[in-house]
Structure 1
Amino acid sequence: MARTPAKGGKTEMLNIRLDPKTRFILEYMSRLRGQTITTVVERAIIAAASGTPIVRESEYERQEITWQDLWDVSEGVRALEISEVPELYPTYEEERRFAFVRTHWPFFFTGEKKRRYLNHYVDVLWPRIDEFIQIHEDMKHQDYYAAGHAMADALKNAKLQPPKWPPDQQTAATGKSGGNFSRDLDDDIPF
């Protein structure tokens, strides 16, 4: 028998301390809008975050990054997106994970240019990312590709076809695409 999906999504509890005036303002807004206090807080956070972009300017372009650019339903993709933005002050562990992912890119990205994530791979591998990093650290002097083999096994156990691993030596050395690594058509377009 199929289970009926629960309404809404997975939620998390947040406890905050408010002075009486702020609590009154929340109740006032809740009654005025006919919303729960939770909805008032959620929408205020969304409005504040949407109006606070990270601005990057170069002599050629101006780029604005907002939370919407970093959001993904995949927890692993969200974590990786955040670790790529210096303005969000990634921790050493976040930077370490991101460096590992970039080194082992066939397991995480659609192509060598590392533009789009393979969410189905990330969803399987991310809960064990620290374990795979530890395998890499422990084994890199004996078998540099050991973590990749462990990740390939994890993908096979999830009934997914892992990428070709290790990558072709010519591809790794020259950065040129070889084998079936050109899975992302955007990576092959010269403009």
Structure 2
Amino acid sequence: MAKRPAKSETLTIRLDPKTRFMLEFISRVKGQTITTVVERALVEAASTATIETGFGHTDWKAFWDVSEGVRQLRLASTDEVFPTYEEERRFAFARTHEVFFWDIEGKTKTFNRFNIEVLWPNIDEYISIWDSTKTSDHWAAGRRMKSDLEDAKIEPPRWPPPSRELIPF
């Protein structure tokens, strides 16, 4: 039998005595830990919470991914889940530097998971480089990401990208 990984996240909440008693009561009646009771209640609630998108009704499973970067990019690209300013900022940066975050073949875009796994933990640092250099060295953040991918033995995209031809009006 596969071993379940240890829990790695904690949640601290304030409860009134009645709610705390109900939680402990459910835990005893079901023979479950308080953590298991809360987790299963969340799964049940999440399964009924849906949003309407251009693809129909969507629930949390459409956004879930083991990669935090993929999850964050999916959420930030969906207005119906009300992304925060910081999420929108990260998404805008990724879109500006899309060759690092997506594989683009024809009209199809898929996440570049290898790159995202290496780059996402430092996304705010790359944005800081971008903010401080975009008017003096437009390619600096991309060069840093390229270097980090090379350090991880991942083939980076061509950077800076080739100049785009100007299209006359």
Is the aligned partner of 1:158 residue 2:158? no
Identity across matched positions, percent: 51
Q: How far apart, CA to CA, are the structure 1 residues paired with 2:129 and 2:152? A: 20
Are residue 46 (structure 1) and residue 20 (structure 2) matched?
A: no
Unaligned residue ranges in structure 2 (runs of 5+): none
Task: Determine the C-alpha separation between the residues in 2 that align with 1:142 and 1:114.
Answer: 33
Counterpart residue number, 1:84: 77
Q: Is the 8 A contact 1:102 1:114 kept in 2?
A: no
After TM superposition, the score normalised by the length of structure 1 is 0.76
CA drift at 1:28: 2.5
Letter of the 1:129 counterpart: I
Distance 1:91 1:44, change over 3 A: same
Higher strand share: 2
**Aligned partners of 2:53 and 2:80 also within 8 Å:** no
Please list the CA deviations of residues 10-48 of structure 1 after superposition, one character each: whole Å capped at 9, or x if unmatched: 421112122232222222222232211111100101110
Q: Secondary structure of the equivalent of 2:103?
A: coil
In structure 1, how many angstroms separate the alpha carbons of the residues matched to 2:108 and 2:20? 46
Match in the other structure for 2:124? 130
Q: 3-state DSSP class of the match of 1:64?
A: strand
Task: Give the TM-score normalised by the residue count of structure 2.
Answer: 0.85
**Number of residue equivalences:** 164
1:89-128 correspondence runs (5 A): 89-111=82-104, 115-128=109-122
Post-superposition shift, 1:141? 2.3
SS of match in other structure, 1:169: coil
CA drift of 1:116 comes to: 2.3
Question: 3-state DSSP class of the match of 1:168?
Answer: coil
Q: How far does residue 88 in structure 1 lie from its aligned partner after superposition?
A: 2.2
The code of the aligned residue for 2:12 comes to: N
